[in-house]
Amino acid sequence: MRTVAAHGFTNATVTEICRAAGVTRPAFYEHFDGKEAAFLAAYVHGTDLLLEVLEQAYLEDCADWREAAWRNLEILLEVLAGTPAFATMAIVEVEAAGPDARRKRAEVLERFRQFFAGAPEPPSGIDRTALIDTVIGGVYSALYRQVAFGRAAELPGLLPVLGYVLLAPFGVAAPPQPAAEPAHRPRVVLPCMPLFLTADQG
């Protein structure tokens, strides 16, 4: 992840990946056909961890969809800001990693539909699935722009705008106290990703 984030997928070499991982090229090729396969494995692992964290948080708050959706967005921004190498790899460089990676990205974005299960029905004549996909795509686009310009650490600052984008199409207002007292709750991090916890480690 860090090698791809630092050099870009196209410019990252297997030699650099092996050096960063502390393995030999023969050892690398025992597990992967090439850097595309290694990228895909890292992408699937990281996005699965992220979705598991979000799914657990959503289940805990799903009685109130507005609160659950806002909290999930807050967690998403917090995790990506704290894992800039993962954010760069998974949001920006996935575009260059080949058709299999792009297909997997489409599957990951589809998994975000589950977080709209409790959302109110849209106005008559508005296709619900198309609306949900449009909201997901809009949030993803905003994340892409921020991460692509090296501003992943600033992602939590997008919470008010993206929260509005998330809730407004369903006629729901933001919670009265968005992101209330974040300093008084544990910081959310992805399990098994200790190398990517802070921006300066990215």
Counting other chains too, the contacts that 163-168 makes at CB distance below 8 Å and 24 or more residues apart are 163/70, 163/73, 165/135, 165/138, 165/139, 166/69, 166/70, 166/73, 166/135, 166/139, 167/66, 167/69, 167/70
Q: pLDDT tens digits, residue range 21-41?
A: 899 999 999 999 999 999 999
Position 79, amino acid: V
Buried b (16+ CB within 10 A) or exposed e, 154-174: ebbebbeebbebbbebbebeb
Q: Domain 47-201: which topology? A: Tetracycline Repressor; domain 2 (1.10.357)
pLDDT tens digits for 149-176?
999 999 999 999 999 999 999 999 887 6
Q: Give the domain ranges of the chain.
A: 47-201
Single-letter amino acid, residue 174? A
Among 102-106, 122-126, 178-182, top mean pLDDT goes to 102-106
| Structure confidence by residue, pLDDT tens digits, 74-106 | 999 999 999 999 999 999 999 999 999 999 999
Q: What is the pLDDT of residue 196?
A: 42
Neighbours of 61 (CB within 10 A): 16
